[in-house]
Copies of this chain bind each other. A is one copy, B any other.
């Protein structure tokens, strides 16, 4: 089986030919040129699909389906993009249009975070799981929900806005307009904020910290300094992982998924992060006494997750 997965980003459009196991056989990418008219971008996507097939020594008729992952809200059943803030595709029935340009091949569409979650379940860290929840810790907190090996996108395609449940009523201002969202405590941005706050406290009290010599605007600083034995960094990591584990335990209490996956930049800390979180999650998981418990892990599909998930979602439009 050969499927094409397309990861439509604000900067680049990456696409790959994916087999039934989620392995990428061939991939390529082009700039999005998001400020151009939508017709041009769509033509480029169609050309990219044909080029991919050709580069792999295949013709379009050898491809079973095309799946596209977009950064925005999607009505998967209708094949329609509801909104994409950074690409002029809002309101577009991308499936119909792209199918017409590609010899009527079956085209499906999903949200990019949903696609990434599906990729982890079918070909990555959660391979074999039926149910999984993923959070991506980056500029914000995104995520996806997979139930019975299928993407759950709710009644309107906008489910799994998993960064936007409140962890602290009246707490930190969140970009979504609410106060105290999980995103405002668990994103890489939040970790950087906590790092800067701690640096400021050290500066005021005269406490020495190796973080003062490091990049204050990096989410890696506190982790690296903590590993070097820095006490101020230890306080940052304690505060950050307390909030992160608290939110993860909340989501586990709601879903009790087979696997809970952490992706995004901060997940680069891999097992070191999991080892910090696990005891905190254990203490707060309602099912901590159950025989079967949720496995906590970091993502493994990396930047290919969107391509893989879009492709494997492609066989079935829901």
Binding site for B on A (CB under 8 A): 73, 82, 129-131, 145, 147, 152-162, 164-169, 176-178, 242-243, 246-247, 249-251, 253-258, 283-284, 286-287, 290-294
Contacts and interface: CB of A to CB of B under 8 A. Distances in A.
A249 B177 CA distance: 13
Nearest 9 Cβ contacts at the A-B interface: A154-B256, A165-B250, A159-B256, A156-B292, A155-B258, A158-B287, A164-B253, A161-B253, A161-B286
A155 B250 contact: no
B256 A254 contact: no
Contacts of A129: 155
Copies of chain A in the complex: 2
A258 B165 CA distance: 18
Given A167-B169, A246-B166, A161 B73 contact: no
A251 to B, nearest CB: 7
A145 B133 CA distance: 15
Contact of A254 (B160, B167, B283, B292): B160
A291 B75 CA distance: 11
A165 B165 contact: yes
A253 to B, nearest CB: 4
Nearest to A293: B156
Nearest to A73: B290
B256 A156 contact: yes
Nearest to A289: B83
> Most chain-B CB neighbours within 10 Å: which of A165, A169, A243?
A165
B165 A168 contact: no
Given A154-B255, A176-B286, A256-B155, A166 B167 contact: yes
A256 B158 contact: yes
A187 to B, nearest CB: 15
Contacts of A82: 290-291
Contacts of A165: 165, 250-251, 253-254
A164 B254 CA distance: 8
B156 A250 contact: no
Contacts of A176: 286
Contact of A168 (B164, B169, B254, B258): B169
A182 to B, nearest CB: 9
5 contacts: A157-B256, A164-B253, A166-B167, A166-B284, A167-B169
A158 B256 CA distance: 6
